[in-house]
């Protein structure tokens, strides 16, 4: 039976019924493969800066970068929901800028957008939702705040921080978000946050008590140089690529490739 198209509304409706499995993808072939594998949502994450473009963090990712990658993923026509990250400083400057920039992502093929932050972006989320753009929140560790945090640190460890994570999730629900990513907080904090709202929480490095999980594709397939400790590697694609290319190089050097199968006289 052909899978039905997954929408932001269907993701919300999965809370309490079925765990939500999301993964990132940044291009046409991996979006096709992830979709065929049955993911519920594909995030075109600004993590692409680190795992694809070789940047130190996500701050250098531009809206133009995102538009190219969102369009590539959308061309795969996945049944999974396509969510696009809003890059650094494309929404913090206010709801009008956020709306203009989110609209560009939607025109490129995004079916929802994800800005980072909680209570401080309430008006941004409210505006986007009001004008028909589904918003996925992102609280806990916000990688776009790496400079002020001094690194990619676990959040929610103190009572004050834990309270903030929960209040942020509640604020995002109130502003109209259809789901919230919770990144790198203690499992007990993610559990409390999950139980405090009706929208699903989708966790990364935040334990098993959430409504779903999300991981970065390159961490899952063994293509990241520095995967975080909370990621799980399910394949060693780096080794597969290295071996394939090394075999090719060897065959070219030895004159084995191209053989008769690969050319015509």
Q: Any idea which residues carry the catalytic annotation?
A: 183
Q: Nearer Cβ to ligand KIV, position 6 or 43?
A: 43
Binding of ligand KIV at residue 46 (CB under 6 A)?
yes
Considering only 106, 125, 216, 223, the residue that binds ligand KIV (CB under 6 A) is 216
Q: Considering only residues 164 through 203, tell me which ones interact with ligand KIV, judged by CB under 6 A.
A: 181, 183
Q: Nearer Cβ to ligand KIV, position 45 or 176?
A: 45
Quick one: DSSP state of residue 213?
E
Picking from 201, 223, 222, the residue whose alpha carbon sits closest to that of residue 212 is 201
Asked whether 5 and 31 are in contact (CB, 8 A), the reply is no
| Phi, psi (rounded to 5 degrees) for 238 | -60, -45
Number of amino acids touching ligand KIV (CB under 6 A): 12
- Give least dist CB 9 to ligand KIV, A: 21
Between the CA atoms of 52, 58, 61 and 67, what dihedral angle is there, to the nearest 10 degrees? 70
Which letter, b or e, does each residue of 22-58 get, where b requires 16 or more Cβ atoms within 10 Å of its Cβ? bbbbbbbebbbebbeeebbbbbbbbbbbbbbeebebb
Q: Nearer Cβ to ligand KIV, position 14 or 257?
A: 14
Binding of ligand KIV at residue 30 (CB under 6 A)?
no
Asked whether 184 and 155 are in contact (CB, 8 A), the reply is yes
Binding of ligand KIV at residue 86 (CB under 6 A)?
no
Site of interaction with ligand KIV (CB under 6 A): 24, 43, 45-47, 85, 138, 181, 183, 204, 214, 216
């Amino acid at each position: 039976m052909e899978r039905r198209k997954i929408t932001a509304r269907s993701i919300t409706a999965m809370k309490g019924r079925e765990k939500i499995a999301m993964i990132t993808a940044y291009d046409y072939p991996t979006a096709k493969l992830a979709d065929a594998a049955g993911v519920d949502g594909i995030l075109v994450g600004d993590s692409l800066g680190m795992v694809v473009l070789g940047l130190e963090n996500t701050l250098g990712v531009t809206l133009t970068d995102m538009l190219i990658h969102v369009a590539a993923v959308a061309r795969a026509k996945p049944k999974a929901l396509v969510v696009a990250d809003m890059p650094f400083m494309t929404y913090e400057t206010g709801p009008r800028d956020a709306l203009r920039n989110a609209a560009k992502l939607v025109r490129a093929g995004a079916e929802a957008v994800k800005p980072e932050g909680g209570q401080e972006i309430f008006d941004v989320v409210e505006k986007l939702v009001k004008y028909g753009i589904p918003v996925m929140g992102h609280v806990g560790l916000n990688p776009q705040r790496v400079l002020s945090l001094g690194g990619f640190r676990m959040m929610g460890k103190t009572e004050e921080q834990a309270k903030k994570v929960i209040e942020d999730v509640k604020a995002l629900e109130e502003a109209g978000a259809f789901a919230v990513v919770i990144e790198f907080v203690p499992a007990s904090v993610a559990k409390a946050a999950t139980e405090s709202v009706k929208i699903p929480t989708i966790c990364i490095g935040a334990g098993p008590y959430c409504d779903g999980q999300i991981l970065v594709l390159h961490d899952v397939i063994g293509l990241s140089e520095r995967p975080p400790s909370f990621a799980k590697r399910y394949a060693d694609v780096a080794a597969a690529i290295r071996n394939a290319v090394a075999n090719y190089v060897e065959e070219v050097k030895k004159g084995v490739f191209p053989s008769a199968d690969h050319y015509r006289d």
